Chain A
Amino acid sequence: MTEAALTPSERSAIVRDSLAVGVATGAYGVGFGAVSVASGLSVAQTCVLSLLMFTGASQFALAGVVAAGGAPLSGAATALLLGTRNTLYGLRMGPLLRWRGWRRAAAAHVLIDESTAMSVNRETTEAARLGFLTTGVSVFVLWNLATAIGAVAGEAVGDPRTYGLDAAVGAAFLALLWPRLKDRRNVLVAGLAAVVALSMVPLAAPGVPVLAAGGVALLVGVLARRQDPTEIPGPDDVAGGHR
């Protein structure tokens, strides 16, 4: 890792790209806010999720399970399982960001798909930190602001079905899944998981089918031989990133 300082133009390019991702992702928070209150969470619970959990897929998952009539705790379990993704990102980002103590504890809060994508390919710690913080903090601020707006507006508009918000959640999950479907094994696992989940819908309490589909990952992961590289999102894979 070289220690050459960033030039002002490199610096502003990183900041510009990171802010674009921050704005695009933050805007998406309106959708979470609206969906969450439509799912039966209060405005306060919705805002606390964005402040405290702050990882979009897990937040949507918790709201989605609750909306389907699942127990809040199976929603929480699904959210936690999806949150293990951030642990993988952290394992990869730790040696690159090289923060210790309270800085590491603070940085962990904004360790998400987007901040990882905008910093994992940087060549120096300084550049990685700049991309990570600019993306992470801008997404955090805008995502929370947008969540509050969406939650309040969502409460005012009434039945979310009128606006197709229930369809938006499926589309949001698909958009998150999409970059991972470049790999053939992932396509197989996704297909199997969808079939397992749907076939369990009439048999199990809401929320359980999704957790059961997680078993497909366990089974295929244990049985498979071929090694595959850890999947870390790149700039192409996040909202507002280069496509």
Chain B
Amino acid sequence: MWTAVLLAGVGCYLLKLAGLSLPERVLSHATVERVADLIPVALLAALVAVQVGSSGTALTLDARALGLGFAVVALLLRLPFLVVVVGAAAVAALARLV
């Protein structure tokens, strides 16, 4: 675990430094720019899906989905980040109580 923490930590710093150090024209290659732009979209969407819809190697549907439902409504209403996240947790916790 420590190896992963340190490796990813140092790697993320180097990615930041590379951005500030490289000339901006690296972005002028259209395909590079599109892929780089789409990576966070794909990864974040996959993380949402896996985080909410799976346990280990099983697909699941439970209180987490209700929490995510709350998050969607809260985001549509443009509520602050903290409300979105804490509210989703509260909704899931309440659903588990009943």
A interface, by DSSP: helix, strand, loop or mixed?
helix
Query: How many interface residues does B have (CB within 8 Å)?
Result: 79
**Residues of B contacting A222 in the complex (Cβ-Cβ under 8 angstroms):** 31, 34-35
A-B pairs under 8 A by CB, number: 340
Checking B10, B37, B82 against A24 with a beta-carbon cut-off of 8 angstroms, the contacting residue is B82
CA distance A53 to B54 in the complex (A): 27
Q: Which residues of chain A are within 8 angstroms of B30 by Cβ–Cβ distance?
A: 227
- Which residues of the partner chain A approach B36 to less than 8 Å between Cβ atoms? 84-85, 87-88, 221, 230
In the bound complex, CA of A212 to CA of B68 (Å): 23
Q: Which residues of A contact B78 (CB under 8 A)?
A: 243
Interface size of A by CB at 8 A reads: 112
Name B44-68 residues within 8 Å CB distance of A. Answer: 44-59, 63-64, 66-68
Which residues of A lie under 8 Å from residue B7 when comparing CB positions?
73, 76
> Which residues on A sit within 8 Å (CB–CB) of B9?
48-49, 52-53
Chain A residue numbers with a CB within 8 Å of B90 are 164
Q: Which of A13-31 contact B (CB under 8 A)?
A: 24-25, 27-28, 31
Q: In the complex, what's the smallest C-beta–C-beta distance from A240 to chain B, in angstroms?
A: 7
The reply on A137 being an interface residue by CB < 8 A is: no
B50 touches A174 (CB 8 A): no
The stretch of A101-109, A121-129, A147-155 in contact with B is A101-109
* CB pairs A–B below 8 angstroms (24 shown): A52-B9, A53-B12, A54-B12, A76-B8, A78-B47, A83-B12, A83-B15, A90-B22, A91-B24, A108-B16, A162-B96, A168-B86, A169-B51, A170-B67, A170-B71, A173-B44, A177-B48, A209-B46, A217-B35, A217-B38, A221-B34, A222-B35, A227-B30, A243-B80
